[in-house]
Chain A
Amino acid sequence: MSEKPILLAACEVAKHFGGVKALHDVSLTIRRGEIYGLIGPNGAGKTTFFNCLTGLYKNEGGYFVFDGNRLAADAPHKAAAVGIARTFQNIRLFGNMTAIENVMVGRHLRTNANVFGAIFRNPATRAEEVAIVRRAEELLHYVGIHERAHDYAKHLSYGDQRRLEIARALATEPKLLALDEPAAGMNGTETEALRLLVEGICRDGVTVLLIEHDVKLVMGLCTRVAVLDYGEKICEDVPAAVQKDPRVIEAYLGGSVA
């Protein structure tokens, strides 16, 4: 695994809210083709790390190097442009748009039609529009909700909404897909299906960063895992080693890590 090139390096990333240190000099490296897990108890700073990475928050200290370039992510759309796509812990879909339209919005970044194209519908714009629809259909197929393509996003079931969010993120052609607790609120069957989906995504060449509460899922899925506790990285290793780490067991109070 270690011979693969580094995709993302976080170097001493720090973020605080008022007096509270949400992230304390967190460093980690994610290699191409990995499924990298980020776990930790509630409030450990996982989502804050995500938000810094994707430009939603501005980190006060440290920096990210992504794909060989320093990330100047002061705006989320720039992070998306360099190839970091994300989902949200509390699903954020465009509820009053259909499933396929949600994915089509994801294509925004990789398409070019401007106002003039929209008004005049020149051949290039029409061709692009056809390509957008086709790609969106493919992605809905890929995540397995194509039969719901023309339903409003808010009418989808919880599990399907999670899948739709992943499809929308994939539409931006990411190199790194950051999933914020994708299995939250899912039952066993849905979680298993999700596991297969994430594995598939990774196999198809997208590196995955996974925040998850479901430790079992993380341990079964991830190639490496970092553990955050109170804003600090206390451990980073392969799942088997993390599970045995005494600091991790302590952080999880009594070692529910198994």
Chain B
Amino acid sequence: MNRRVGKTVSWQRHWLGMLLVAVVLVAVPFVAALGGQAWVRIANFAILYIFLALGLNIVVGYAGLLDLGYVAFYAVGAYTYALLASPHFGIHLPFWVILPFGAALACFFGVILGAPTLKLRGDYLAIVTLGFGEIIRIFMNNLNAPINITNGAQGITLIDPIRIGDFSFAQTSTVFGVSINGPHKYYFLLVTLAILVIFINIRLQDSRIGRAWQAIREDEVAAKACGINTRNIKLLAFAMGASFGGIAGGVFSAMQGFVSPESFSLMESITILAMVVLGGMGHIPGVILGAILLTALPEALRYGIDPLQRMVFGHPVVDPESMRMLVFGLALVLVMRFRPAGLWPSSQRRRELSEGTH
């Protein structure tokens, strides 16, 4: 983790690489738009998932805490935004108030869940977080009576888009002569957020806190003996992950204009976890790859399976929706079978595995 050597030598190449990435990032929505606006939305979701996956990466990848209820924090953020910026209660607060508030609320939930449970063994923590996720979802589903708070399974509609003064993210506007529509704007917002979370992930990795997380992951008893207050440090990871989930939820709400409990099922938590593990736990490029693949794959299958069936059999043989999920499930199994450390693990993990120790 000490990359001090060769820092000055390659900085030119470094900047060149950055420039290239920036050009690609700017080009993506315009290229995607050629295939239809749907692809811009898919790109947006891919980036939202990168954000979520990297938030979860702090919890699972760095601190080694298996969180199966991550979506609960996403839901808290999403509903906070939805309730405070929609006709449902007639409240329309600006996004820069709600997003931090949603993050703080998610963080708070993370702490009250984490504080009593973080001393639990890994798998117990997994099931407790999973249970917490379900509890949140059930409440969102049912808190429409006797007082209508969440509007139940129908969800909340007409949520305000993100708006800065007169600049609304829902409308098309012209910037420097280029016409930019809603999804494009959200794309650039999301990219900014994703870069932020990548930056934070990188900075944390090489810090006093990051080392403490890694130490806990390696050997909790030894970490304690080194004077690390393991409970607090774990709680920190948990709370940070939760905050990121909260922010992602708020942006999701604003972007969709609609939230319902359906978006926050356990399957969602599992998908985000799968992104982290399938990509390569703890390795930022791997996690990004995992998030992009697992967002793009089901979409690609959605568009690809029906024509494929017609081509091969002349007519659809099986329901494309279930075929899509089937392939998704098989992909998870196969990747884990042949790349147990993930598609793009850090070189260190790869070495661990080839030695047969873990």
Residues of A within 8 A of B (CB): 54-56, 75-77, 80-81, 85-86, 88, 92-98, 100-101, 104-109, 111, 113-115, 117-119, 121, 125, 128-129, 132-133, 150, 152, 154, 168-169, 171-172
Q: Across the interface, which residues of A come within 8 angstroms of B207, CB to CB? A: 113, 117-118, 125, 129
A-B pairs, top 6 by smallest CB distance, nearest first, are A109-B227, A118-B207, A80-B227, A76-B224, A94-B218, A92-B222
Q: Is the CB of A105 within 8 A of B357?
A: no
Docked Cα-Cα span, A105 to B214, in Å, equals 9
Docked Cα-Cα span, A143 to B207, in Å, equals 24
Interface assignment of B136: CB less than 8 Å from any CB of chain A? no
Docked Cα-Cα span, A23 to B349, in Å, equals 42
A96 partner, pick from B221, B226, B352, beta carbons under 8 A: B352
If A94-B218, A94-B219, A111-B208 touch, whether A105 touches B2 (CB-CB below 8 Å) is no
Docked Cα-Cα span, A150 to B2, in Å, equals 9
Q: Which B residues between 223 and 262 are near A, CB-CB below 8 angstroms?
A: 223-230, 236, 240
Q: Is the CB of B208 within 8 A of A132?
A: yes
Q: Across the interface, which residues of A come within 8 angstroms of B219, CB to CB? A: 92-95
If A92-B219, A93-B219, A100-B2 touch, whether A108 touches B228 (CB-CB below 8 Å) is yes
Given A88-B221, A94-B223, A168-B226, 18 more A-B residue pairs with CB atoms under 8 Å apart are A54-B225, A56-B224, A77-B226, A85-B225, A94-B215, A97-B1, A97-B214, A104-B211, A105-B211, A105-B212, A105-B228, A109-B226, A118-B203, A118-B210, A129-B208, A132-B208, A152-B348, A169-B226
A93 partner, pick from B1, B209, B222, B227, beta carbons under 8 A: B222
A115 partner, pick from B204, B215, B349, beta carbons under 8 A: B204
A-B contact pairs, 30 of them (CB 8 A): A54-B225, A56-B221, A80-B224, A80-B225, A80-B226, A88-B221, A93-B219, A94-B214, A94-B218, A94-B222, A96-B349, A97-B218, A98-B1, A98-B2, A101-B1, A101-B2, A105-B226, A106-B227, A108-B208, A108-B212, A108-B227, A109-B226, A109-B227, A109-B228, A115-B204, A117-B208, A118-B203, A119-B199, A150-B2, A169-B226
Q: Across the interface, which residues of B come within 8 angstroms of A150, CB to CB? A: 2
B2 partner, pick from A96, A133, A152, A171, beta carbons under 8 A: A133
Closest to B204 in A: A118
Q: Across the interface, which residues of B come within 8 angstroms of A95, CB to CB? A: 218-219, 357
Size of the B side of the interface (Cβ < 8 Å), in residues, is 32
Docked Cα-Cα span, A118 to B211, in Å, equals 11
If A95-B218, A97-B215, A154-B357 touch, whether A105 touches B352 (CB-CB below 8 Å) is no
Q: Which B residues between 186 and 219 are near A, CB-CB below 8 angstroms?
A: 199-200, 203-204, 207-212, 214-215, 218-219
Q: Is the CB of A113 within 8 A of B209?
A: yes
Docked Cα-Cα span, A122 to B224, in Å, equals 27
Q: Is the CB of A114 within 8 A of B209?
A: yes
Closest to B199 in A: A119
Docked Cα-Cα span, A93 to B218, in Å, equals 8
Q: Across the interface, which residues of B come within 8 angstroms of A169, CB to CB? A: 225-226
Q: Across the interface, which residues of A come within 8 angstroms of B348, CB to CB? A: 96, 152
Closest to B358 in A: A96
A136 to chain B, nearest CB (A): 10
Binary per-residue interface labels of chain B (339-358) against chain A in the complex, 1 for a CB within 8 Å, 0 otherwise? 00000000011001000010
Docked Cα-Cα span, A154 to B214, in Å, equals 15
A249 to chain B, nearest CB (A): 34
Q: Is the CB of A77 within 8 A of B230?
A: yes
Q: Across the interface, which residues of A come within 8 angstroms of B200, CB to CB? A: 119
Docked Cα-Cα span, A118 to B43, in Å, equals 30
Docked Cα-Cα span, A115 to B230, in Å, equals 15
Q: Is the CB of B240 within 8 A of A115?
A: yes
Residue in B200, B209, B225 whose Cβ sees the most chain A Cβ within 10 Å: B225
Closest to A82 in B: B227
Closest to A168 in B: B226
B204 partner, pick from A98, A100, A101, A119, beta carbons under 8 A: A119
B201 to chain A, nearest CB (A): 10
Docked Cα-Cα span, A77 to B222, in Å, equals 10
Q: Across the interface, which residues of B come within 8 angstroms of A133, CB to CB? A: 2
Docked Cα-Cα span, A118 to B62, in Å, equals 14
B218 partner, pick from A56, A96, A111, A125, beta carbons under 8 A: A96
Q: Across the interface, which residues of A come within 8 angstroms of B212, CB to CB? A: 105, 108
Docked Cα-Cα span, A113 to B211, in Å, equals 12
Q: Across the interface, which residues of A come within 8 angstroms of B223, CB to CB? A: 94, 105
B268 to chain A, nearest CB (A): 26
Residue in A86, A108, A150 whose Cβ sees the most chain B Cβ within 10 Å: A108
Closest to A105 in B: B215
B289 to chain A, nearest CB (A): 22
Q: Is the CB of B204 within 8 A of A76?
A: no
